[in-house]
Chains A and B, each alone.
Chain A
């Protein structure tokens, strides 16, 4: 009950301010009678407070003009103490034309801005980033600040679906000055490898010794243990069809398919000097505040010119109005850390550890490409001022890619599908 009454008071206060009210002081021998007569006549009185030999109270402007008969009846004198509210505000500032023009322009601007889109919100996207979708929209001239009437939600939805085939459902709607785009992606999709639709050969992409070979379709042209060269046909897509008498009836063209694993070698050589320069931070830092507007960069504070060697660490924020509406204003600070260079040298153990780490990094890189490491013959050698790692790494990797059928191939009579 009290809460609703408080809410009523807030609204009532706004209405009173809008209509205007006055604070008056009444001088009367019959103050209570004056108050009761006001209430009986439907006049609303607020904040009645005793003051000196009278009483002060708030009364709305319209009720104020109805006080005269009551005053006459109760022999009451009235003094206006304060005038409050919009009618008095406008009356006081009636000569300030610029103020009214400003208020009018403010409302006009508000009205104009409310007809435009100031926030583009994308939700439900996983594989496609919000930036990618926003970039597509920008290509379609849909950007922050566009007029709402120029937008077609159905067109946006259809365009996004067409441009991003993985999206199975797109909904665009306008809510106030926001453009809300809800998408749903096909989570079950997988990257389908493009299968050769026409007849083709399978050729080697690298040179090496064939270790393992499984033919699914076509005639193998190489055997396990043989060496193959890059570009050599491994499985041929031309299959001979024989009749019961062993006579060649025809040749069928098929897309060659199979798994061929070859042993490849990687040469490894890396050297580094045993002496190196080490950065020792002195602990002295300086901070500069940076403000960048478009290409104009303003910097406040002392730059690190007094430091001979220094590292600069920047932390910047781009100003944005709404969720994805970034302004070309970047602000932040640069922290400059001074350091001095000290020449140091690796011990034999340290150098070996570093070399091992480099080798492991190289192995990780080639394993990421799907290579299985078979043999590692890299040796670490430490000379007077160098650490040299060199050797060969043998790996097992899958090879083979589809290529158009070669016109002249090996005689099909020499090898059959059974082989």
Chain B
């Protein structure tokens, strides 16, 4: 039943051409090169260190690993991260 509802919702949003980040509350990541990242649609920071940042989203966690990671700005809607990224992992 839940799968049917999810499929129906996805189909409806696709037909209406509503952006996925708004419709399905997906996180939006904009990566520039390997040193600049902008994230929208998240809940909170779960862990922060210079090598690892774990961000809690509605659909899971996003783990950013790298070196000299800094948060350029942090608001409830958007955050910018800079540093040398090595990997971005999406955890369920």
Contact = CB atoms under 8 A, between A and B. Distances in A.
Interface stretch (B1-9, B11-19, B41-49): B41-49
Interface in A199-241: none
A39 B48 contact: no
A2 B32 contact: yes
A46 B72 contact: yes
Contact of B30 (A1, A40, A48, A55): A1
Determine the main DSSP class of A at the interface with B. Answer: mixed
For the side of the interface on A, what is the size category? 20 to 34
Contacts of A40: 76
Contact of A45 (B36, B38, B49, B71): B71
A219 B58 CA distance: 114
Nearest to B46: A32
A45 to B, nearest CB: 5
A40 B48 CA distance: 17
B44 A45 contact: no
Contacts of A46: 72-74
Interface string A13-43: 0000000000000000001100110111010
Contact of A50 (B30, B49, B73): B49
Contacts of A32: 44-48
A48 B71 contact: yes
A184 interface: no
B48 to A, nearest CB: 6
Given A2-B30, A5-B38, A42-B76, A35 B70 contact: no
B57 to A, nearest CB: 13
Contacts of B70: 47-49
A44 interface: yes
Contact of B76 (A31, A39, A48, A55): A39
B34 interface: no
Given A2-B32, A5-B38, A50-B50, A36 B44 contact: yes
Q: Which 8 A-B pairs have the closest CB atoms?
A: A48-B71, A36-B44, A39-B76, A50-B50, A45-B74, A49-B70, A32-B45, A46-B73
Interface of B: 30, 32, 36, 38, 44-50, 70-76
Given A44-B74, A49-B71, 4 more contacts: A35-B74, A42-B76, A48-B70, A49-B70
Interface of A: 1-2, 5, 31-32, 35-36, 38-40, 42, 44-50, 55, 57
28 contacts: A5-B38, A32-B45, A32-B46, A35-B45, A35-B71, A36-B45, A38-B74, A39-B44, A39-B74, A39-B75, A39-B76, A40-B76, A42-B76, A44-B73, A44-B74, A44-B75, A45-B71, A46-B74, A47-B70, A47-B71, A47-B72, A47-B73, A48-B48, A48-B70, A49-B70, A50-B48, A50-B50, A55-B48
